[in-house]
């Protein structure tokens, strides 16, 4: 049975979104946190895959987040990032500022990285790009990377 073989852990800084996910996906485990500050309950090098689905450009401190991911991935594990930067062009500068006293999820994009910028950031932070894809109309992109 797959539910005994696959363990899903989801995190989000928004308590309401976590509550919704818990109701919709009862087999998953969900916690309230940012990826930068998340204290993984699993030991280091224990995740096969870590997926950022529409979150990459919403992460305040990418360097800290990617370091956290690198510590938790198995040596053969992969980070998979799918994002849609087209929505970032609709955000003004007031949405991009950060105040430590305000929940991160109240802000939209901290950046509007293209796939090339994302690949450069991953490479600079100890990852090797193994796959990439951009949708036909350039609305979405995906990068798969492994640790160096």
**Cα 73 to Cα 148: distance, rounded to the nearest angstrom:** 12
Task: Give the pLDDT confidence of 43-86 residue by residue, as tens digits.
Answer: 677 788 889 988 898 888 999 999 988 888 889 999 999 998 76
Helix (H) or strand (E) holding 82: strand 73-83
Q: How confident is the model at residue 121 (pLDDT cuts 50, 70, 90)?
A: very high
Contact predicate 53/82, CB 8 Å: yes
**Cα 141 to Cα 132: distance, rounded to the nearest angstrom:** 8
Task: Give the pLDDT confidence of 5-19 residue by residue, as tens digits.
Answer: 777 788 888 899 899
HSE-up of 39 (CA within 13 Å, CB side)? Answer: 0
- What is the sign, positive or negative, of the torsion defined by CA atoms of 131, 77, 80, 57? negative
Q: Does residue 22 register a pLDDT over 80? A: yes
């Amino acid at each position: 049975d797959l539910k005994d073989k696959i363990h899903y852990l989801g995190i989000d800084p928004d308590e309401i979104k976590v509550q919704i996910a818990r109701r919709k996906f009862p087999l998953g485990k969900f916690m309230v946190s940012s990826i930068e500050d998340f204290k993984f309950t699993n030991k280091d090098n224990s995740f096969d895959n870590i997926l950022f689905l529409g979150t990459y450009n919403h992460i305040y401190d990418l360097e800290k987040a990617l370091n956290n991911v690198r510590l938790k991935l198995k040596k053969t594990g992969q980070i998979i990032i799918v994002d849609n930067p087209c929505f970032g062009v609709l955000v003004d500068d007031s949405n991009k500022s950060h105040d430590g006293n305000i929940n991160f999820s109240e802000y939209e994009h901290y950046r509007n990285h293209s796939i090339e910028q994302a690949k450069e950031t991953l490479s600079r932070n100890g990852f090797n790009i193994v796959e990439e894809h951009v949708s036909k109309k350039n609305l979405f992109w995906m990068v798969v990377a492994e640790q160096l």
